[in-house]
Structure 1
Amino acid sequence: MKFETVLRYSAFIAVAIALGMGLYLAKESKATSYLSSDAIACTNCHVMESYYASWQHSSHAMRAVCVDCHLPVDNYIDKYASKSRDGWNHSVAFTLNTYGKRMLITDDGARRVQENCIRCHSSRSKTLIKNIDRYHAFDSETLGDRKCWDCHREVPHGKVRSINGTPNTLGVRWDR
């Protein structure tokens, strides 16, 4: 057999193995689930199960899913760019085990959540509108760098937001 023929077969086999491994990885990681807005997709990483469980028992569970709070909603390019960046950062942190028991939101993530809190609640809440000059003047200098969760700390993930925060991850559906 000629050297070129052996080289071609070897290259074909290497590409087939790489493709097979890639497909296997995509299947096992449930990669296509991340294209949806289904909150259960976040629990593909076991680290997120307590966050899912605490959200599932909150008032937000009936009205908003993870992407409604944590991703831009104004256009698809920003949404999927943020989703990709966050997914990459989560994958690296989870794979290399560089996160603590309590995950901390990035500055960019905090900005997105703050914008979404304001977007959802500023026009809907009568109490918020009535007291906007006293407590919720978002463009006021007196508000400073305060975020919604500085006062509304337990929304929507409860008092304790950590891996140990929800014993046995009560409420997490295992039928995915």
Structure 2
Amino acid sequence: MKSGKFIAYSAIIALFTAVVLFFYLLDTSKALSYLSTDPKACINCHVMNAQYASWQHSSHANQAGCIDCHLPTDSFVHKYISKARDGWNHSVAFTLNTYAPRIEISADGARRVQANCISCHNRLTGTIRANEDKYHDFSKAKATERKCWDCHRNVPHGGVHSIISAPNNLGVRELQ
């Protein structure tokens, strides 16, 4: 009987320890912030400070946050599937320090950003397509193959070349 009580108490202590550890990790990692739309969630990992600081100085800062450009906007399900996949990939890369000094967007991320550029600037992109022969040189690639940032390279992150070399990377400031 003493052995049974010992096992029961040990199980209760182990469960309690696991619950406390779970909530501690939840708080320490600021995990719940990733469910928000606040761009500050993107700088929970210090490696994104250059991107955040350069975005703050861009024309997009007052109009679009990180998720408006980097996550699907077509459905809640697609948004959170992408958010979970990106979050996992980012947490692994940042925790294990396996990312390159120059952080580059994935092919899937680039597809999402391109779709969101076109969606947000729908009227403008319609005009560009209608007048591509006058205003945009698509001789090197079809209009459908080009990315907005092929020409608009510094939107909205400026000339972010690496973690430590970005214009306006004087630290994070509060937006007014």
Shorter-normalised TM-score: what interval? Answer: 0.7 to 0.9
Q: For residues 65-95 of structure 1, what are the alpha-carbon distances to aligned partners after superposition, in whole Å with 9 as ceiling and x for unaligned?
A: 0000000011100001100000000000001
Aligned residue pairs, count: 172
Amino acid at match of 2:163: I
After the TM superposition, list the runs of 4 or more consecutive aligned residues in structure 1 that deviate by more than 6 angstroms: none
Partner residue in 2 for 1:9: 9
1:145 deviation in Å?
A: 2.9
Q: Is the 2:54–2:168 Cα contact (8 Å) retained in structure 1?
A: no
Q: Is the 1:51–1:162 Cα contact (8 Å) retained in structure 2?
A: no
Q: Percent identity?
A: 60
Q: For residues 21-60 of structure 1, what are the alpha-carbon distances to aligned partners after superposition, in whole Å with 9 as ceiling and x for unaligned?
A: 1101110111111111111111100011111000000011
Separation of aligned partners in 2, 1:124 and 1:11: 62
**Normalising by the residue count of structure 1, what TM-score does the alignment of the two structures yield?**
0.87
Q: Where in structure 1 are there 5+ consecutive unaligned residues?
A: none
Amino acid at match of 2:108: D
Amino acid at match of 1:60: H
Partner residue in 2 for 1:20: 20
**Normalising by the residue count of structure 2, what TM-score does the alignment of the two structures yield?**
0.87
Query: Relative to 1, partners in 2 of residues 1:10 and 1:167: Cα closer, same or farther, differing over 3 Å?
Result: farther
Query: Relative to 1, partners in 2 of residues 1:133 and 1:35: Cα closer, same or farther, differing over 3 Å?
Result: farther
Q: For residues 1-39 of structure 1, what are the alpha-carbon distances to aligned partners after superposition, in whole Å with 9 as ceiling and x for unaligned?
A: 611110111111111111111101110111111111111
Partner residue in 2 for 1:148: 148
Separation of aligned partners in 1, 2:79 and 2:85: 10
